[in-house]
């Protein structure tokens, strides 16, 4: 359902662009795709989609607010110098609140180098940062990965995967590396927008091998499976 929601929202975005240009052809309005600060949409939209799909996360909320702040600065609504000075304090304040109210939003779950997935899935995000995660000796049930102007490395080589699972991944001006064990097969369904997926994972000869289904969107970014 998550990947369907993501495709629907991205689809609506491109439909609106098409309608905008069609309106220009009939002189109904003056639509411009490359307005001042248009590039901030590649921060705002993925973070908004992540909020809708996965609920509140510090990473997606921070990315959304930073994107909106940069758009306001580009449009001249707020002075750029002031906005630049506010971004860093805002990040520290948000991190502080996330640490205080972590249990309220996430229960007792926290991100570690070894993340336990037994009975559920986890989300990994990197926005203007790089994160590395390794699953060792635990049953892996699937995950959602978001890399926006950042990178995520997920090492599953020592994870226990004994059934079919789904990984939803979004790379926007970022990169995702996924290392998989030898006993699985990988099937990729990707929406490439100036990006793509490179699947170098070997295929298990076992006809009953578990399958990792990767549902991904790559916009000016890439995903490597090894």
Question: Same structural domain for residues 100 and 130?
Answer: no
As for how many domains the chain has, the answer is: 2
Range of the domain at 14: 7-106
Whether residue 60 lies inside any domain: the answer is yes
In contact, 135 and 156? CB cutoff 8 Å: yes
Quote the pLDDT of residue 185: 92
Percent helix, percent strand, percent coil in the chain, to nearest 5: 35, 30, 30
106-163, pLDDT tens digit by residue?
444 333 333 334 434 577 878 777 888 888 888 888 888 888 888 999 999 999 998 9
In contact, 2 and 144? CB cutoff 8 Å: yes
**pLDDT, greater one: 57 or 166:** 166
Whether residue 113 lies inside any domain: the answer is no
pTM for this predicted structure: 0.54
Question: Same structural domain for residues 13 and 100?
Answer: yes
CA 147 – CA 222 distance, rounded (Å): 10
47-97, pLDDT tens digit by residue?
887 777 666 666 677 788 888 888 888 888 877 777 777 777 876 776 666
Quote the pLDDT of residue 121: 53
Question: Same structural domain for residues 86 and 152?
Answer: no
Task: Kindly provide the residue ranges of all beta strands, DSSP E only, lying in the chain, ordered along the sequence.
Answer: 122-127, 130-139, 143-148, 151-160, 165-172, 175-179, 185-193, 196-199, 211-219, 222-225
């Amino acid at each position: 359902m998550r990947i369907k929601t993501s495709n629907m929202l991205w689809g609506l975005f491109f439909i609106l662009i098409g309608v905008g240009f069609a309106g220009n052809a009939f002189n109904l309005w003056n639509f411009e795709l490359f307005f001042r600060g248009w590039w901030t949409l590649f921060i705002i939209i993925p973070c908004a989609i992540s909020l809708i799909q996965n609920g509140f996360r510090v990473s997606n909320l921070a990315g959304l607010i930073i994107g909106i702040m940069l758009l306001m600065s580009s449009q001249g609504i707020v002075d750029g110098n002031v906005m630049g000075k506010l971004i860093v304090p805002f990040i520290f304040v948000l991190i502080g609140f996330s640490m205080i109210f972590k249990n309220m939003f996430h229960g007792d779950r926290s991100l570690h180098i070894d993340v336990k997935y037994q009975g559920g899935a986890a989300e990994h995000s990197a926005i203007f940062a790089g994160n590395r995660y390794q699953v060792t000796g635990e049953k892996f049930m699937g995950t959602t990965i978001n890399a926006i102007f950042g990178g995520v490395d997920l090492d599953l080589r020592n994870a226990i995967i004994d059934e079919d699972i789904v990984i939803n991944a979004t790379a926007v001006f970022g990169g995702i590396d996924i290392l998989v064990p030898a006993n699985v097969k990988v099937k990729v369904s990707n929406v490439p927008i100036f990006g793509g997926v490179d699947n170098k994972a070997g295929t298990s000869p076992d006809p009953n091998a578990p399958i990792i289904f990767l549902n991904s969107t790559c916009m000016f970014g890439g995903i490597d499976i090894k």
